[in-house]
Amino acid sequence: MKAVKLISSSIISLLPDDDGNRALDLMNLYRVNHLAVVKNDFYLGVVSDKEINNWNSADEYIEEHLPNLASPHVIYNQHLFDIIEVLEKNNLSVVPVLDENKQYKGVITNRKLLYT
């Protein structure tokens, strides 16, 4: 199965001008520990609840922390086993999916993989 078939349509990405509180609220809503940060369909990285909790304040904007964000991802046509490898190596609850031009397409949750 290819990554594009596993994208979760309900999970939205964060913007650099979102603050940590918004990120934590969305993580709680979607029951994930990570969310992609995207601007104009360009993938900037993944932020985690643990990272936000280490900030001076959750009122800080994600943009202030962009240089520290990891950017693990898969390409839309990668196989299920590649997705699992990225999730495991990076200890992620979601893995961002990009197209061949590095444009953001969505995320795949670790829960979605459990039911595949």
Evaluate the CA torsion angle 96, 92, 31, 47 in order and state its sign. negative
Q: What is the CATH number of the domain that holds 22?
A: 3.10.580.10
CA dihedral 52, 35, 88, 67 (to 10 degrees): -60
Q: Which structural domain, as residue segments, surrounds residue 95? A: 3-114
In order along its 116 residues, the chain shows pLDDT tens digits of 899 999 998 999 999 999 999 999 999 999 999 999 999 999 999 999 999 999 999 999 999 999 999 999 999 999 999 999 999 999 999 999 999 998 999 999 998 887 76
pTM over 0.85, yes/no: yes
Structural domains counted in the chain: 1
